[in-house]
Structure 1
Amino acid sequence: MIEKNAYAKAGVDVEAGYEVVERIKKHVARTERLGVMGALGGFGGIFDLSQLDVKEPVLVSGTDGVGTKLMLAIQYDKHDTVGQDCVAMCVNDIIAAGAEPLYFLDYIATGKNNPAKLEQVVAGVAEGCVQAGAGLIGGETAEMPGMYGEGDYDLAGFAVGIAEKSQIIDGSKVAQGDILLGLASSGIHSNGYSLVRRVFADYSGHEILPELEGKPLKDVLLEPTRIYVKTVLPLVKEGLVNGIAHITGGGFIENVPRMFGHDLAAEIEEDRIPVLPIFKALEKYGNINHEEMFEIFNMGIGLMLAVKPENVDRIKELVDEPVYELGRIVEKTDASVVIR
């Protein structure tokens, strides 16, 4: 006898997959921008570069996921912010190279397809794309029973951006005497969550810790990663920035040296860093070594710029938020990053 509905009996609900596509169309529509071609549902996302006014185009790509922060989203049953995290981790890397994000594609794998939940995830992706000015031109949802638990899912994506060849930021222009400017982070962003979950393993997430200024712990831990594209791109186009460091996993110690040569170092004044309350709480409740905090977390600075001293005032005019003067670029003697 021929078995009917064999795929469904194996745990894969094709109809639920169709429902997800229908649910997310309205979110994808929010992200349309110049160059986007075709409709959702094709085999490949299409983008028309000829629509852009770029004389010597260089493509810059970035890919990332959200990591174990997803486990907290699942634990707290809050899924509408992690999509922005995924976009941010990709497009912030792209703007660090001086490129404008053009489009994004996501990949969601789950144990059981829950259309309402996955719509929340994609809504967050779309919000991230809107903030980055990137089109959401495609993606993939895979239902994989046996690989993932029924309530589990993973999220990853990649973005492609474009820059004029002459405006690429590769660290070659960073020089001794450059000023280090910092832009604030929104929170932990999407790094160090294996440690974060360990520190707060016995907490429900509803606690309001005295350090967190009245906010429930779960809201602080799921605060989405900030996207810096629209703030920084005008600075790049005006030629005001020599180097950019996206402060992600590895904190200050790993990421800051990636924006300058091996003969230079960053000298940073710790008292100029706007340390967020969550980092003070993590250090306290996790009994974490103070110096190690700077090797793991962004500590309140999500993006760092190396600029000529004469450009500082102009940057502060263009940026409608506090810009923190953190330190300067010096000749390297021992460490690549010195925090005083």
Structure 2
Amino acid sequence: MSNPYKDAGVDVEAGYQSVSLIKEHIAKTQIHNSLNQIGDFGGLFPLQLDGIKEPILVSGTDGVGTKLKFAFMLDQHSSIGIDCVAMCVNDILCCGAKPLFFLDYIALDKNYPNKVSEIVQGIAQGCIQAQCQLLGGETAEMPGFYAKDEYDVAGFCVGIVDKSKMPNKQTIQKGDRLIGIASSGVHSNGFSLVRKILQDRQIDPLNYAFEEHTLAKTLLTPTKIYVQSMLQVLKEIPIKSIAHITGGGFFENIPRSLPQGLGAKIQTNAFPILPIFEFLAQQGGLEIQAMFGIFNMGIGMTLVVRQEDVKQTLEILHSCGEKAYEIGEIIEEEGIHLC
């Protein structure tokens, strides 16, 4: 007996197999007694408010963007899920929020269960790093909409913070210091430009050796998740503001964490610019000003603290395994000023 839905390109049986394969990955992220099972129409999460006087829920959503093209090139899909989680949880960290749960959405031309399982394995790993639960998700098989063997992935997270403990950028003053935490690489931003540079220079990232890997593998390095280290800092230091350095680099993101009338002077020699950015600047003929307005340049997150809190903040971050640096100061001139 023919199956008209399968004839149209949607394999329901493959969907069932995908669900079966991803169950073990999802189970590893469980942090509370679960009230729901995979296949339910909604994800249920028991909210624990012990010690929180004024609970504020903080939400964030994002995708991975054209970095996915490098996953397609290498046919490696596990790390891309970490990127998806990172882009969401790092954003809500800027409000001081502890991530609670995460949901994913995977849309693809054809449901290959092993590929879906590999993607979800990465998402689960990202959730473990972020200390949150993978509560549910959706896989959509959309034949004729996506190119063969391609897909998109997006995520949504919810966190919680006590209102009294949220960073408040209105407390920032001239002379406060900016601390930068190292990135793991390009993270998940600027890849449309990366791909254009490689295309214009006729560089094959699959066969171009870069450091200890191919260029493609270097570019696929997953986005760093800062949850564990940042929550530790937030417990001990009165952080005034936090910025996640994503698309738009320093020039777009740091000003979002500053009050009107103030800016930041950045010492570009205070931290190592990663080799991948030096490579992209050289191959693309890009000036340093442009690079800092597009990429993270080796700094994935910035914090504004009082001058007297710099030493302790750096000590906490280093004890958590982060590479962190004092990279600048707050000045009475709006914008970002590179020195």
Q: What residue in structure 2 maps to residue 216 of structure 1?
A: 214
The alpha-carbon deviation at position 253 of structure 1 amounts to 0.2
Q: Matched residue pairs, number?
A: 334
Work out whether 1:96 is the aligned partner of 2:78.
no
Contact 1:36 1:135 in 2 (8 A): no
Equivalent residue runs for 1:109-148 within 5 Å: 109-148=107-146
Following the alignment from structure 2 to structure 1, what is the Cα–Cα distance between the partners of residues 33 and 58?
A: 16
The alpha-carbon deviation at position 206 of structure 1 amounts to 3.4
Q: What residue in structure 2 maps to residue 168 of structure 1?
A: 166
Q: TM-score if structure 1 supplies the norm length?
A: 0.95
Equivalent residue runs for 1:152-231 within 5 Å: 152-201=150-199, 202-209=202-209, 212-231=210-229
Following the alignment from structure 2 to structure 1, what is the Cα–Cα distance between the partners of residues 310 and 33?
A: 34
Work out whether 1:324 is the aligned partner of 2:325.
yes
Work out whether 1:44 is the aligned partner of 2:45.
no
Change in Cα spacing, 1:53 to 1:30, as seen in structure 2 (3 Å) is: farther
Range that drifts further, 93-102 or 161-170:
161-170
Change in Cα spacing, 1:12 to 1:52, as seen in structure 2 (3 Å) is: farther
The alpha-carbon deviation at position 35 of structure 1 amounts to 6.5
Contact 1:272 1:324 in 2 (8 A): yes
Q: What residue in structure 2 maps to residue 240 of structure 1?
A: 238
Work out whether 1:82 is the aligned partner of 2:83.
no
Following the alignment from structure 2 to structure 1, what is the Cα–Cα distance between the partners of residues 185 and 315?
A: 25
**SS at structure 2 position matched to 1:37:** coil
Range that drifts further, 323-332 or 230-239:
230-239
Work out whether 1:339 is the aligned partner of 2:328.
no
Contact 2:99 2:132 in 1 (8 A): yes
The alpha-carbon deviation at position 85 of structure 1 amounts to 0.3
List runs of 5+ in structure 2 lacking aligned partners.
none
The alpha-carbon deviation at position 170 of structure 1 amounts to 4.0
Render the CA deviation track for 1:294-337: whole Å, top value 9, x for unaligned: 010000000001001111121122222332110101112xx411
Following the alignment from structure 1 to structure 2, what is the Cα–Cα distance between the partners of residues 5 and 214?
A: 49
Equivalent residue runs for 1:231-310 within 5 Å: 231-310=229-308
**SS at structure 2 position matched to 1:151:** coil
List runs of 5+ in structure 1 lacking aligned partners.
none
Range that drifts further, 261-270 or 320-329:
320-329
Change in Cα spacing, 1:257 to 1:189, as seen in structure 2 (3 Å) is: same
**SS at structure 1 position matched to 2:259:** coil
Contact 2:74 2:206 in 1 (8 A): no
Following the alignment from structure 1 to structure 2, what is the Cα–Cα distance between the partners of residues 174 and 227?
A: 25
**SS at structure 2 position matched to 1:327:** strand
Following the alignment from structure 2 to structure 1, what is the Cα–Cα distance between the partners of residues 189 and 55?
A: 32
> Please, what is the CA RMSD of the aligned residues?
1.4
Following the alignment from structure 2 to structure 1, what is the Cα–Cα distance between the partners of residues 271 and 260?
A: 24
Following the alignment from structure 1 to structure 2, what is the Cα–Cα distance between the partners of residues 322 and 50?
A: 32
Following the alignment from structure 1 to structure 2, what is the Cα–Cα distance between the partners of residues 275 and 228?
A: 19
The alpha-carbon deviation at position 159 of structure 1 amounts to 0.3
Following the alignment from structure 1 to structure 2, what is the Cα–Cα distance between the partners of residues 50 and 76?
A: 42
